[in-house]
Chains A and B, each alone.
Chain A
Amino acid sequence: MSEKEFDLYLSLLGRFLKLSPNQRAEIADELRDHLEERLEELTDEGLSRDDAIRRAIDEFGDASELATHFTQIARRRRRRLIMRLTAGTALTASAAVLLAIFLRPEMPPQRAAGQLVAQEELGDPEIPAAEIGAAAEGPANVPDPLPTPDAFGSSEAAAQPTTELTTSESVEEKLKQPLDVQFDASTLSDALAFISHKLEVDIFPDWRALGDEQIDKDVPMTFGFQYTKLSAGTVLDLILEPLQCSYIVREGFIYVSTDIAMEEQEDYLEFRVYNVRDLLEKGLDADDLTKLVQFARNAAWSDDDGFGGMVEWYDGLLAIRQSQDVHRQIDDIFQKLRAADVERPWGPDKPQVTDGFQPGTAPAATERFQPRSAPPTTGGFQPRNAPATYEESSAGTPTSKSRDSF
C-alpha cells in the first residue's frame, strides 16, 4: 500500500538528491517504509487518513533540505577520499608529466605515445633511447608475456607504447585478449577463477566487502552466458556490473570489490598522461577532446560534480585523473579516433568531421576548418563513422574495432 502523497514526496526528494540512481532508490525505499509504518500508527491513534499522511510527511521536513543532508554525507566521504589522493598523487603526477616531456624527442610527431601510467617504477632509467627507437619500428618488440593472437595483429603503430610495460600494463594487455566464455550457472568464485586461469593473472576478490553487500562467492550467478571472443576485460565487466562491483588492476594482479568499497581504495583514481598531439594536429582541438573524454560512462568530474576526477592540459599532453574503468574508455575513444583516421583520413580541410563531433558547433571550430577546396571524397564522408563507433563504446558494447586496435 503505497500512498500517492508518499510517492510524490519521495520523487521530489529524489530529484533533489545528487546521488546515483541506486543510492536514490535505496533512500526512497527506506523512507517509504518509515512513512507507511508511521501512517499506520497515526491512524491507529485515531487520526484521519489524510491528517496522518500529512503528519507523517511533515515529520521528514522540507524535501530539498533533507536531500541536502543526504547528499552532503555522500560528498563529504568523496571529498575525504580526494584529499587523501591529492596529497599522495601530487608527486607522482608531476613526475609523470616530467617523464612524458622527457620522452618527447623520442617520439615522431605522428605517433601517439600510448600512455604513461603514473607509477614510480615506470621511471626506469635503464631504457636506452635506442631501445625506444627500436620498439617504435614494429610491434614485435613490445614486451608481451602472452603471444598476441593473430586477430590482434594491427597496423596501427599509433597504439604501441613507447616504454617498457610495467607489470600493471601487462595485466591491462592481457585483459584485452579475447576469451571463449561459457558460464552456465557458475558461481562467482568459479567464474573469476576461470578468468584468472585463462589470463594467467591472479584475481583477488575482496570477499569481505562483497559479503557486506550480500554477495556470496558460492551462490550461483543468476545468469548464464555464452559469448565468444569478448575481451577478458569486457567479460569481467559483464560479470561484475550487475553486482555493482568492479575491478582494478594493481601491480601484477586484478583486485575485485564492490563499487562502494572501491571508492574507498587509495588507488581508485589513477593519474595517466595521454599524448594526443597527433589528434591535435589533425585539427581536433583541446576542447573537442576534453568534451569527448567527459562523455565517459559512470565518470564523476570534480569540476561538475564536486568530486571525482580531473583533466589538465600540458602542451598537447592530456593529464587525467580518473578510475581505471574511465581510463579504459578514454583509451578506447582515442584509439577509435585514430582508427577512424586511418580508415578515412581527415585533414584540416575536411570540415564535416568536426561537425560530427561537435553537435553544438562552436564557431571557433568552424573557422579553423574553412573548406578551401572541397576534395571529391569529402562528400562521401559523412561523420557517420567516428561518432557511431564512439557511441558504441560509450554504451560499453565491445565492437570489433575496439578489439582490433591492439
Chain B
Amino acid sequence: MTDPFSSQLMRGSLDLLVLSVFADGAKYGYLIQQQLRDGTADRVKLQAGTLYPLLHRLQDEKLIKSRWDSSTGRRRKWYELTAAGHKRLKQQARQWDAYAQCMRGFVQPILDTAPGTA
C-alpha cells in the first residue's frame, strides 16, 4: 500500500490539499512539499514543477498571499491564507467530506465483501 496516489485521482483535490497545508500558518514552497510527503507517507508527491505554478495561481486568485522574509536566516518567499482563502478552504473541505462519504457508501460494501470472496 505504498504506491503514490495516481495524479488522475488527485487532480480534483490538489487545490484543497495545498490550501489545507496552510491551515496552521505561513509556509514556503519547499516546506509545503515536505509536509505533503511526510504527512502521507510518501504517497503524495507533488513535483516542484507542479507546486510552484499552483502556488502562483492560488495567489493570483487571492486565496493566498506571499511575502519575502529572512527571519529564518534565509531569504524566502512565504505564503499564507488570505481571508478569502480561509473561507474557500472551509467550504471545499466540507464539500470534499460530503463527497468522500458518498463515495464510501458505494465502495465500502465492495471492500467488506472483497477479502472474503478473494
Chain A residues in contact with chain B, CB under 8 A? 26-27, 29-31, 33-34, 37-38, 59-62, 65-66, 69-70, 73-74, 76-77, 212, 214
Q: Are B57 and A59 within 8 A (Cβ)?
A: no
Contacts of A73 in B (CB 8 A): 53, 56-57, 60
User: With A and B bound together, what is the CA distance between A76 and B60 in angstroms?
Assistant: 9
Q: Are A69 and B77 within 8 A (Cβ)?
A: no
Q: Are A59 and B47 within 8 A (Cβ)?
A: yes
User: With A and B bound together, what is the CA distance between A33 and B52 in angstroms?
Assistant: 12
Residue-by-residue, is B32-50 near A (CB-CB < 8 Å gives 1, otherwise 0)? 0000000000000001110
Q: Are B47 and A70 within 8 A (Cβ)?
A: no
Q: Is B22 interfacial (CB 8 A cutoff)?
A: no
Name the contact of A60 in the complex, choosing from B30, B48, B56, B77 (C-beta under 8 A). B48
User: With A and B bound together, what is the CA distance between A34 and B48 in angstroms?
Assistant: 8
Q: Are B47 and A38 within 8 A (Cβ)?
A: no
Name the contact of B56 in the complex, choosing from A29, A38, A61, A70 (C-beta under 8 A). A70
User: With A and B bound together, what is the CA distance between A59 and B28 in angstroms?
Assistant: 17
Contacts of A66 in B (CB 8 A): 49, 52-53
Residue-by-residue, is B45-82 near A (CB-CB < 8 Å gives 1, otherwise 0)? 00111001100110010000101100000111100000
User: With A and B bound together, what is the CA distance between A37 and B30 in angstroms?
Assistant: 8
User: With A and B bound together, what is the CA distance between A261 and B57 in angstroms?
Assistant: 16
| Cβ-closest chain B residue relative to A62 | B49
User: With A and B bound together, what is the CA distance between A61 and B52 in angstroms?
Assistant: 12
Count of B interface residues, CB-CB < 8 Å = 18
Contacts of B74 in A (CB 8 A): 33
User: With A and B bound together, what is the CA distance between A26 and B68 in angstroms?
Assistant: 10
Q: A33-B76, A214-B67 are in contact. List 10 more A-B contacts (CB 8 A).
A: A30-B29, A31-B52, A33-B29, A38-B48, A59-B47, A59-B48, A59-B49, A70-B56, A73-B56, A77-B60
Contacts of B49 in A (CB 8 A): 59-62, 65-66, 69
User: With A and B bound together, what is the CA distance between A43 and B35 in angstroms?
Assistant: 19
Interface of A, secondary structure class, is helix
| Cβ-closest chain B residue relative to A66 | B49
Cβ distance A28 to chain B, nearest Cβ, rounded Å? 11
Cβ distance B53 to chain A, nearest Cβ, rounded Å? 4
Cβ distance A234 to chain B, nearest Cβ, rounded Å? 30
Q: Are A70 and B53 within 8 A (Cβ)?
A: yes
User: With A and B bound together, what is the CA distance between A59 and B47 in angstroms?
Assistant: 6
Q: Are A33 and B56 within 8 A (Cβ)?
A: no
User: With A and B bound together, what is the CA distance between A65 and B67 in angstroms?
Assistant: 26
User: With A and B bound together, what is the CA distance between A69 and B75 in angstroms?
Assistant: 24
Contacts of A26 in B (CB 8 A): 77
User: With A and B bound together, what is the CA distance between A158 and B77 in angstroms?
Assistant: 52
Cβ distance B26 to chain A, nearest Cβ, rounded Å? 14
User: With A and B bound together, what is the CA distance between A69 and B49 in angstroms?
Assistant: 9
Cβ distance A387 to chain B, nearest Cβ, rounded Å? 40
| Cβ-closest chain A residue relative to B33 | A34
Contacts of A61 in B (CB 8 A): 47, 49
Asked whether A212 and B65 contact (CB < 8 A) given A29-B75, A34-B48, A61-B47, the answer is yes
Name the contact of A38 in the complex, choosing from B30, B52, B60 (C-beta under 8 A). B30
User: With A and B bound together, what is the CA distance between A34 and B53 in angstroms?
Assistant: 14
Asked whether A34 and B30 contact (CB < 8 A) given A59-B49, A61-B49, A214-B67, the answer is yes
Contacts of A30 in B (CB 8 A): 29, 52, 77
**Residue from A34, A59, A62, A69 having most chain B Cβ neighbours under 10 A:** A34
| Cβ-closest chain A residue relative to B67 | A214
User: With A and B bound together, what is the CA distance between A270 and B78 in angstroms?
Assistant: 35
Contacts of B75 in A (CB 8 A): 29, 33
| Cβ-closest chain A residue relative to B34 | A41
Cβ contacts A to B, 8 pairs, < 8 Å:
A26-B77, A29-B77, A34-B29, A34-B48, A60-B48, A66-B53, A73-B56, A214-B67
Contacts of A59 in B (CB 8 A): 47-49
| Cβ-closest chain B residue relative to A65 | B49
Cβ distance A232 to chain B, nearest Cβ, rounded Å? 32
| Cβ-closest chain B residue relative to A69 | B53
Cβ distance B56 to chain A, nearest Cβ, rounded Å? 5
User: With A and B bound together, what is the CA distance between A38 and B47 in angstroms?
Assistant: 12
Cβ distance B7 to chain A, nearest Cβ, rounded Å? 13
